Amino acid sequence: MRHTRVNVPRPRTPLQSPLRRVPRSWLPGAFTIGNLLGGYAAILAGAEQRYYLAILCIFAAAVFDALDGRIARLARATSELGGQLDSLCDAVSFAVAPSILVFHMGINSLGRVGYAVCFLFAACGVIRLARFNVMPSDHHYFLGLPIPFAAATIITPALLNDGQPLPAALVPWHAGLVAVIAVLMVSRVRFRTFKDVSFSARPYRMLATWAAVLAGFVAFAEKMLSLLILAYLLSPVLYAVQERFTKRPGGHA
């Protein structure tokens, strides 16, 4: 009698599984180090007077910073070490690097006032990060202007000037902007996180809006970026006005 041999696949043990052999905790940290690389490269490029490249490096660092936390949550690899590493990298990329860059791009002509303004921005950025680490998380609002937006705001004038130093007549205004943004970082002004915004009910509107934004960036990248930053800076005022006009006596909207 001839016997037929049937090959039954044996289940993999935990040690044999390729997914288990690959650690997931390194991936968010890799994006965080990419954030640090962007900030460090911006400092070096600024020292070599390659200002446009330095600006792009800071924006690249912001992209890495936006992705590392989301990847950590998706991979279930959040940790205290990752949070502390993220803050240290943010201090380099969004506090130190932008303040050095704007100093070289014209604010240094103000002498000691220029030194003071740029140091104020770096100091307030570090304080903003320290306060964020010790305060309870809020799903709806940031307390104070988030530091990546602050960095993007102070380098946007140079971006609009094609990465060239600003004209002398605009330098005092630029220094004033840097000082105001520094104070906003450590203020108690609340800025939306937009983590609670849901587009699932009408995804076609979200896709159409996203397509319009992408088209705007393709045609007018620098101007679109400036408008988005300006809109976010004004968002606390706009939300306050909206709440004032939508609320009615007795709690009815």
Instruction: Identify the pLDDT of residue 73.
Output: 76
Residue with the bigger pLDDT between 22 and 149: it is 149
Cα-Cα end-to-end distance for the chain: 85
- pLDDT tens digits along 112-130: 999 999 999 999 999 999 9
Q: Is 32 exposed, middle or buried (0-12, 13-18, 19+ CB in 10 A)?
A: buried
Residue partners of 112: CB distance under 8 A and separation at least 6: none
Residue 86 near residue 158, CB atoms below 8 Å: no
Residue partners of 246: CB distance under 8 A and separation at least 6: 253
- pLDDT tens digits along 35-59: 999 999 999 999 999 999 999 999 9
> Does the predicted TM-score (pTM) go above 0.85?
no
Residue 116 and residue 121: Cα distance in Å, rounded? 9
Helical spans, DSSP H, in 141-189: 147-160, 171-185
CA dihedral 126, 128, 131, 132 (to 10 degrees): -110
The first and second tokens of residue 211, run together, are 């397509």
The first and second tokens of residue 174, run together, are 């630029």
SS3 142: strand
Label residue 97 by pLDDT band (50, 70, 90). Answer: very high
Residue with the bigger pLDDT between 28 and 128: it is 128
According to CATH, where is 1.20.120.1760 located in the chain? 24-194
Instruction: Identify the pLDDT of residue 14.
Output: 47
Question: Looking at beta carbons, which pairs linking 246-250 to residues 24 or more positions away fall under 8 Å?
Answer: none
Residue 21 and residue 11: Cα distance in Å, rounded? 16
Domain 24-194 falls in which CATH fold?
Four Helix Bundle (Hemerythrin (Met), subunit A) (1.20.120)
Q: How many CB atoms lie within 10 A of CB 213?
A: 12
- pLDDT tens digits along 131-171: 988 887 766 778 889 999 999 999 999 888 888 888 999 99
